[in-house]
A = this chain, B = another copy of it.
Amino acid sequence: MFELHPRLAADTREVTRLPLCRVLLMNDRRFPWLILVPQRPEIREIHQLSPADRATLVEEIARVAQAMEKLHKADKMNVAALGNQVPQLHVHVIARFASDPAWPNPIWGRGTAEAYEPAQMATAIAAVKGALGA
């Protein structure tokens, strides 16, 4: 049975659930930063998913990335499955801007996360839900 990794649960808030992935908002208001987690148990690598799940994963990545690009007028989308610290397969989808504090570098390990205020978080989640039509 799928269970969200406690570290992901602690660092994010749930936005919605797609057929394969749980869509989570990273609690770091410095970056529009979502995390997609395939709701399958014991998966660490993309190649451990079934081909059917992989096909769904890439479509859900595309749908979420396109929605975030449009919502935030992003200069570039960053998509990554790293997992060196949290072993449960999860895919980062991050809207990047030439004006953001890490540009043009990747965002991981830069500075310290800045948590959303509760009202900001609610607004951010509603905006992503709206963009996804979810």
Contacts and interface: CB of A to CB of B under 8 A. Distances in A.
Interface residues on A, range: 20 to 34
Nearest to A75: B84
Contacts of A109: 105-106
Nearest to A63: B47
Interface in A25-78: 44-47, 49, 51, 54-55, 57-59, 61-63, 65-66, 69, 76-78
How many identical chains are in the complex?
Answer: 2
Q: Looking at chain A's contact residues, is the secondary structure mostly helix, strand, loop, or mixed?
A: mixed
Contacts of A69: 45, 47
A46 B80 CA distance: 12
A85 interface: yes
